[in-house]
Structure 1
């Protein structure tokens, strides 16, 4: 798909920029993909969609006013005609808009090009290996692979390009009782041995789901949170938890950490780390974030995410976060708990593979609530005894990442974003498992 080649975007942008007047500036934000989506049920392919699409968002600045619009991008002359028409309309409409007091003006933020295009087997080979391994189980889910592009170019000469090639198998296994185990195999390097380990591990957990479920009374229990469960907790923490704007407005959830009234565990370190290769370092304004930004180091506050718009409003220094000031490539540091020792160290308690329906229960005290999901087990004396009925938890990040945190695994798992509303998401996390001395269940 030629629209996913950087040269076509550059040629198009120059033609549009040449039409700008002296008091006008323009930023073009490009998104594109060439993606295979395959839906599976009972370990058979039920639907295959090959998707090719690209779009451009325009950020038009005139004086102290800003207007945005978008259009599809096909990498042909019709794009220029449509863009110039929309640009002329914008000149009329922007006159009616108020001035923006915290406007982030287009600037020259350099030129970068990053392409993570590891050679993958073709889609038929990858799907064939999945079906060979899972041929005797009821597997349902989505397999997706292909190239995704994010880019930004402005009239000041800045141009950043990010292109990545990856895949994910987001699936569940079901038994005869329609109980399920959920798992994810994803990355940019295909490893059939790791795929087999992933599916066989899910099969083993599914066999345990055949046992009668245990109803666990509400209360505090020792808990092991698998990496996928920790990934869900990070997702909720991104809703204002590490946003400087949210804290300045009184909506932040880690105020006491920010004000040094509380600390987390010295075992806990959280940072943005773009070496994962899942998200571009640049934001929609073309500003380039640090390759690594420490957020919480050994339990102590280091930085929140600060966009330039927030910096303009509150007279702060920007670290070039996105406008949403949410984490794009977070990593939690590993510890020393080995995979083989998890059940023994847990002793008697709950093994939680997945969490869902997370939301803040008390934002000011960093309390979050949610439900257990899929393969969650009651463990006795270091051995899995039975699956559990679903439970609701209500717990504080100051406990989970602080007082209750006993051990962190010496391995971690990458969870790329699998969102696909309108287009495939970029970004993801790398999280280890956490062993907690207590975890509160309310229902």
Structure 2
């Protein structure tokens, strides 16, 4: 019987401890997945396959110097141990060539963390049957990914962390004969036939509206509802340094004014790094335990994400952030707007399902620009009237999530990272929809 990923990792750690020379310290990170992928076109399976892979990241430290090396692992303990020995040998040759790292700060506590989120995932045949039942007559294009993801960390100081979580992520688009499309997704750990059917039915209803003539809007400010997927693009851009201890210390954060107290967001806004219960491990890639953080409370900045390196460089207190200091499990608090009442509350304005190509037009002012995408509709008297042609918006977060924010929905959507670059990711966002009094369209 083959060793489990945890047993493979433990074997590497035990051998590494035995191989250490006096004065040496190590950290060892581990990543693994066993994933099933299914690609759809015209609601039919066009490609299916499995991916099983594992890798390790070894960091060797001695006399204030550090060097690291990533290597691929297989299903053979002997081969893996040979690769570990080879990596250790190369790092030992490299270290004397390096200068001491002035910001090297290792967590020397022997912390322990063990998390297994092993909810039963649906059989792929069940998923295929649900797709056929709900979209067999439609041009559905998408990808379904499922399976366990593992992360591990260990250090020569006795720290040991293990995280294993099952999840699924179905990301798809429904295309109209005129080339327009509705984009949707369904992701999580507990598959619900009813929830998936509801999400698919909503996309189907929006697809029908795309057959109507496009409505062309003039530049200006419009009342708008941002669906969770659209809001995720905005919060995702904010995570590019917005809550980073390093970016705030160097003045490069788009939320500099918020953290300095010169500006604030809406009192309706509460933003957390919600690690507990998420798909992300409770330890960072640098080897520190993570904890939940209240980043924004009632529109005011509170905590920030601080890695061990930033803590050393800027005299801050580390709180388990990864080296890139971006939220791994962003959670935006719910409001009191019921989803079934969104159109009536919007009354007249824009229903925006997705945004894309976002970037900063004025980073210090947290001003963003981007395009509406896929299903954006013009609403009058609480009813969808027509799809809207692609428009560019340019607006400040201090407006959209500040003075112009009217309400947030009670219901929130769990959005998992769809990135499979190198490996499936564990990042997530838990977001409501947002009703804003004014969104500025420029062209």
Question: 1:130 aligns to what?
Answer: 131
Question: 1:235 aligns to what?
Answer: 236
Task: Report the alpha carbon displacement of residue 109 of structure 1 after superposing the two structures with TM.
Answer: 4.2
- Give 3-state SS (helix, strand or coil) of 1:144's partner: strand
Task: Report the alpha carbon displacement of residue 286 of structure 1 after superposing the two structures with TM.
Answer: 2.1
Partner Cα distance (1:189, 1:260) in 2:
41
Comparing 270-279 with 199-208, which one deviates more in the overlay? 270-279
Question: 2:73 aligns to what?
Answer: 73
Deviation sequence 1:149-173 (CA, Å, 0-9, x none): 1111111111101111011110000
- Give 3-state SS (helix, strand or coil) of 2:340's partner: helix
Question: 1:442 aligns to what?
Answer: 442
Partner Cα distance (2:410, 2:30) in 1:
38
- Give 3-state SS (helix, strand or coil) of 1:358's partner: strand
Q: Give the ranges of 4+ consecutive aligned residues of structure 1 lying more than 3 Å apart after TM superposition.
A: 1-4
Partner Cα distance (2:17, 2:369) in 1:
49
Partner Cα distance (1:355, 1:194) in 2:
23
Aligned length: 442
Deviation sequence 1:57-78 (CA, Å, 0-9, x none): 1111111111110111125111
Question: 1:187 aligns to what?
Answer: 188
Q: Does the 8 A contact of 2:286 with 2:323 survive in 1?
A: no
- Give 3-state SS (helix, strand or coil) of 1:53's partner: strand
Task: Report the alpha carbon displacement of residue 285 of structure 1 after superposing the two structures with TM.
Answer: 2.3
Question: 2:398 aligns to what?
Answer: 398
Question: 2:214 aligns to what?
Answer: 213
Partner Cα distance (1:321, 1:431) in 2:
21
Q: Does the 8 A contact of 1:37 with 1:48 survive in 2?
A: yes
Alignment of 1:4-403 (within 5 A): 4-75=4-75, 76-290=77-291, 292-403=292-403
Task: Report the alpha carbon displacement of residue 94 of structure 1 after superposing the two structures with TM.
Answer: 1.3
- Give 3-state SS (helix, strand or coil) of 1:18's partner: helix
Q: Does the 8 A contact of 2:26 with 2:156 survive in 1?
A: yes
Q: Does the 8 A contact of 1:4 with 1:33 survive in 2?
A: no
Deviation sequence 1:53-109 (CA, Å, 0-9, x none): 000011111111111101111251111112112211211111111211000225234
Task: Report the alpha carbon displacement of residue 30 of structure 1 after superposing the two structures with TM.
Answer: 0.5
Q: Does the 8 A contact of 1:3 with 1:73 survive in 2?
A: no
Q: CA RMSD in A?
A: 1.2
Q: Does the 8 A contact of 2:346 with 2:435 survive in 1?
A: yes
Residue 58 to residue 224, structure 1, CA distance change in 2 (3 Å): same
Q: Does the 8 A contact of 1:307 with 1:318 survive in 2?
A: yes
- Give 3-state SS (helix, strand or coil) of 2:19's partner: coil
Partner Cα distance (1:4, 1:247) in 2:
42
Residue 211 to residue 2, structure 1, CA distance change in 2 (3 Å): farther
Normalising by structure 1, we get a TM-score of: 0.98
Q: Does the 8 A contact of 1:57 with 1:70 survive in 2?
A: yes
- Give 3-state SS (helix, strand or coil) of 2:276's partner: helix
Q: Does the 8 A contact of 2:149 with 2:424 survive in 1?
A: yes
**5+ long unaligned stretches in structure 1:** none
Partner Cα distance (2:210, 2:261) in 1:
44
Partner Cα distance (2:268, 2:202) in 1:
28
Partner Cα distance (1:55, 1:4) in 2:
14
**5+ long unaligned stretches in structure 2:** none
Q: Does the 8 A contact of 1:3 with 1:54 survive in 2?
A: no
Q: Does the 8 A contact of 2:353 with 2:374 survive in 1?
A: yes
